[in-house]
Every structure is written in C-alpha cells, then in structure tokens.
Structure 1
Amino acid sequence: MAEHVLVTGAAGHVGRAVLALLAQRRVRVTALVLHPEAALPAARVVTGDACDPAVVADAMTGVDGVVHLAALPSPRLGTPEEVFTTNTRATFVVLEEAGRRGVRRAVIAGSYAAGGLPFAVRRQSPPYLPVDTATPLLATDPYALSKQVDEVTAAMMARRHEMTVVALRLPFVGDAAEKLPATAARYAERPESGAADVWSYLDTRDAARALALSLSVAEPGCHTLYVAAPETLSAVPTERLLDRYHPGVPRRRRLQGRTVPIDLEPARRVLGFTAEYVFPLK
C-alpha cells in the first residue's frame, strides 16, 4: 500500500469515502478538489483543476500513489465536447504528472458505462452475457467514449512510465441510506429502467475499498477490471430479467438467482476483492 496518496475529485461522493477509508488506515493523503472544501480528512488539500498540469504537479508533491476520481460523471453535465475533453485531459494530465515524478501505482475510476449502454442514444444490448472486459464496446455518447479513452491512456502511461495502473469499471455507486433504496424502489416499479446497467450496483464503501486495494497491485501494466455487488438491485431473478429486457442475447453461463450478469472473477483474482455490502431487498 502506498504511504502518501493523492486523491483527485476528493470532494465527491466516492472521493470522500476514499478519504475516510485511507484516514482509517492511517495513510497520508493529499486531496485535490475543484472548489474550496472544509473539514476534509486529508493532510493537505489542494484546490484547482485536475486538467491543469501546474495544479496537478503541485498536488503530486511527495506522493507515491494516486486515486484519480476527478471527472464529469455524466454526459448531461456539459456539452459533448466539455464532457469528453474534460475527462480525457484530466486522466492524461494526472497520470503523466504521476509518471514524471516516479509514482508507480495509480488507479483511475473507470465506468461500466464504457460499454456504451447506460447513456446510449438508442436502446442497446450487450453482444453476450455476462459482460466482461472482452465484450465489444458500443459507445454512442461522449461519456462512454471518454471512459474508453481513459483506459487506453492508462495502458499507454503504464508502458511509458513502467507504472501499474488499475482502471476500475465501476457500476452505479450509492449509499445504503438514500441512493440504493431509491434505485431499488425504481427497479421494483419499473424493471426496464435498470436494463442498461444490467441492474448492477456497488455500495460506496465497497467502491472505496476496491480503489484502495488497487494501489496494492504489484504486477506492472494496466489492469482493467469490473467491480460490482454479486447480486443485482432487483428482486426479480436475473435470467427472467434478461429474458424480458435483453432477449436473444447469448449467455455464456447460467446465472443463478439474482447473480449480477458481469464477470467479477478478474477483480477477485487481481485485487482479492469481493463486495462486502450487499443491499438487503425487502
């Protein structure tokens, strides 16, 4: 585990969970935030844009690990050009500055949305199920494309600087108090609303733990991994959901009960990660 970690996007929902977890583990943290924030559990807080090399270089002082979360997390949070260029520039700048300064371990917040389904301009189904990192990517929106480019950037930086970079394809991430109950209720009322996400999710605490575990990966190179809770956020059995909302899509194995239709084995193998917080459906 790194001894001094830079967390970009530290004021966000996942960023704060990462800060809390690293503080619990007594890891020194520098937090990079876009706007001034009070009372963040970090040894140092740097305010500025993750797209700015000077800001990032300053924030990188003394760091030996990076958790890169800063991004526009939806294609609806800016023009297509803003979403794509902001996300891809920030990832390039952060990893390039890390590599220049001898940082050899980094993790970036990729997204399940890189596959192209959640924000697609028209309804799509994956070519096969469960989804895995070999599944062809079907982006029709700038956010999905930005996340694809981020992964290519991570692979290039790993080669360029002989780094270890983990790109975690995170699903919908939420807390057990508000976001997960609300989404579960929506899926119960309208199961089709979860089809693009294959009803996947991850508790915020598990997201933070997966990101932290990624800094312990020793094998050089870029590792792209899906993480998610092992069960869907729908009470309906997975195979029944797929029959209804992704008909005709080939299945490479039977999905018992509410098993999430995403291949999570690589994350277990590389990170030793299995989600601990499974949302209890009523």
Structure 2
Amino acid sequence: MRVLVTGAAGLIGTAVLDLLADRGVAVTALVLEPASLKADRVVVGDAGDPEVVGEALRDVTDVIHLAAIPNPLNDPGEVVFGRNTLATFTVLDRAGQAGVRRAAIASSYAICGLPFARTGLRMPYLPIDTELPLQITDPYALSKQTDEATAAMVHRQYGMSVVALRLPFVGTAGGRLASTSARFAGDPGAGAADVWSYLDDRDAASALVAALRPKAPGFHVVYVAAPETLAPQPTEWLLETFHPGVPRPSFPGREVPIDLRPAEDLLGFRARHPFEVRA
C-alpha cells in the first residue's frame, strides 16, 4: 500500500501524514513548495499539472486528495473555481488511468452555500444531510459541487471507489478551535452559517484514511463532524435564535445538527477528539 496525499503540507495534510506514519504506511506527498514532511517520497509541483501528478502517482495504490484553495475570500473567483476543479479532475482522472482503485477527497460543509453566501439564505431543514438542496452563490462551494461530480464520473469510468467527505471547520485544540470556540461564546451568531460544527484535525485525518476502505464500494458523499458543537450554548437555543422556523427535530444538549450516521455506517467513523468547550 502506498498512499498519495495531495496538499500534504496543509493543516489536514500533515495530520494525515502523521496518522499514516504511525501505521507504517508508505506515503508520497505532493506539495507546491519543498517542505520537511513525514513521507518517504515528496513530489513538488501543482496538483493540476498532469505531468507532476503522473510522477506523483508512481507505485501508488490509494489517493487522498486535499490540494485546494480553502475559501473564496482571498483570490478571484475564476482562480478559486479553476484551480480547485482542475486539480481534482487531474488527480482523480490520472489516478484512474494508473489503475488506482480507492480515493478519498476533501469536499466541504460549505457546499450547502451558507458559509460564504453572497445573498440572504435560509436553511431548508435540519439536520443537514446529503439530500439538502444546495444553495450555492460562491465559487468555492461551486468548486466542491464540481469536485463531487468529477468523483462520480471517475467512479463510473474507471470503477474507482471514491468517498467525498464534506468536512466542517477543522482546527487544532490549542489553535483555531480554542479561538473560534471563545468567539462563539461571546458572539454565537458568528457560527450560525456553519451550525457551529467542527472537527479536530486528527479526526479529519482518521476519517480520510477510513474513507479509503468504505464498507461498500462505489461513489459516496458523507458529512463528518464532531458530535457536539463548538459553541457553549444549547443547540435548541442556538437554532431558535439564529435559524427560527426551520423544520427540525429537537437536538438535546449541544448536539450538532448534522446527520453523522452515514459516515459511521459507511466508514465506521466517530470523532474521538472532542474540544472542551467552555462558556
């Protein structure tokens, strides 16, 4: 087994490398710039370049694709959409041609449209699941919708199993999770578009690695997140305050309003690194 990890120098990528190293799995890391990484082979170049990707895929059996511009806030829309979708197509299509049979890709919770909405949007219902109508108004969410369509195409064309993980806000316990949780404590409305969801980077890595061996082959899309929110307030109060009138069941305590059962059923995944939220 040799896993190609694209975007390997990023927050989630380094956590994936740590996990694979702990398991003794051979790794090829694809990065834009030279870096010291936990990988026995490092390829430097653009994930959208077919020659670079072809070189990175040498002897690879599995792919975890993370390389992407992570939001639409700092680059022109055509750059965000163009680079993200080209990288995903190039990596997955070349992997299919090379005979790779399993891949996991980072989709995003933001595909629903609310986190980077450029017009007023309302959640259709809760909990969030893969049947939720998408309300995309930004190039990042559109790129993720296209990435998922690319993954479905690659599965049909090459028979590759691909799992797209719709990841929420990801951080480390002593970094982004702590600062964001503190912000939600004082300004809970700041997390409304993300329904206050999050995932520790170690859990994100575990989910991606688990997605290489789903219980059923094929193309799958699942949401992953910590089972409780990053906000100290009860979920019922948060929803009544910031998503009033949205059809939903009740959510006890700080339960996150996302359907996490499909990820558990398909991948056996449960988040195991909850952040200790303080009021």
Please indicate the TM-score interval, normalised by the length of the shorter structure. over 0.9
Match of 2:18 in 1: 20
Identity of aligned residues (%): 60
Match of 1:69 in 2: 66
Match of 2:276 in 1: 280
* TM-superposed deviation, 1:122: 2.5
| In structure 2, C-alpha distance between the alignment counterparts of 1:118 and 1:55, rounded to whole Å | 33
SS at match of 2:143: helix
SS at match of 1:144: helix
Match of 1:159 in 2: 156
Structure 1: which 5+ runs fail to align?
Answer: none
Contact 2:215–2:267 under 8 Å retained in 1: no
1:190 is aligned, of 167, 187, 194, to 187
Contact 1:125–1:196 under 8 Å retained in 2: no
CA separation of 1:258 and 1:218: change in aligned 2, threshold 3 A: closer
| In structure 1, C-alpha distance between the alignment counterparts of 2:48 and 2:81, rounded to whole Å | 12
Match of 2:4 in 1: 6
SS at match of 1:205: helix
Contact 2:108–2:165 under 8 Å retained in 1: yes
SS at match of 1:176: coil
Match of 1:266 in 2: 262
SS at match of 2:81: helix
Runs of 4+ in 1 over 3 A off after TM superposition: none
Which is further off, 117-126 or 66-75?
A: 117-126
Match of 2:216 in 1: 219
SS at match of 1:258: coil
SS at match of 2:179: helix
Match of 1:29 in 2: 27
For 1:274, the aligned partner's letter is R
For 1:275, the aligned partner's letter is A
Structure 1 length as normaliser, TM-score?
0.97
* TM-superposed deviation, 1:281: 1.4
* TM-superposed deviation, 1:239: 1.1
| In structure 2, C-alpha distance between the alignment counterparts of 1:68 and 1:119, rounded to whole Å | 22
Structure 2 length as normaliser, TM-score?
0.98
| In structure 2, C-alpha distance between the alignment counterparts of 1:44 and 1:181, rounded to whole Å | 34
| In structure 2, C-alpha distance between the alignment counterparts of 1:66 and 1:121, rounded to whole Å | 33
Aligned alpha-carbon RMSD (Å): 0.8
| In structure 2, C-alpha distance between the alignment counterparts of 1:218 and 1:197, rounded to whole Å | 28
* TM-superposed deviation, 1:178: 1.1
1:202 is aligned, of 199, 207, 214, to 199
* TM-superposed deviation, 1:123: 3.6
| In structure 1, C-alpha distance between the alignment counterparts of 2:60 and 2:115, rounded to whole Å | 35
Deviations 1:63-98 (A, max 9, x none): 000000000000013100000011011000000010
* TM-superposed deviation, 1:36: 1.1
* TM-superposed deviation, 1:218: 5.2
1:179 is aligned, of 176, 179, 186, to 176
Contact 2:215–2:266 under 8 Å retained in 1: no
* TM-superposed deviation, 1:112: 0.1
| In structure 2, C-alpha distance between the alignment counterparts of 1:221 and 1:126, rounded to whole Å | 29
Match of 1:255 in 2: 251
| In structure 2, C-alpha distance between the alignment counterparts of 1:274 and 1:124, rounded to whole Å | 30
| In structure 1, C-alpha distance between the alignment counterparts of 2:125 and 2:214, rounded to whole Å | 29
Contact 1:162–1:220 under 8 Å retained in 2: no
| In structure 1, C-alpha distance between the alignment counterparts of 2:121 and 2:186, rounded to whole Å | 21
For 1:144, the aligned partner's letter is A
Structure 2: which 5+ runs fail to align?
Answer: none
Check if 1:109 corresponds to 2:93: no
Q: How many residues align?
A: 278
For 1:64, the aligned partner's letter is T
| In structure 2, C-alpha distance between the alignment counterparts of 1:80 and 1:264, rounded to whole Å | 31
| In structure 2, C-alpha distance between the alignment counterparts of 1:120 and 1:226, rounded to whole Å | 19
For 2:221, the aligned partner's letter is T
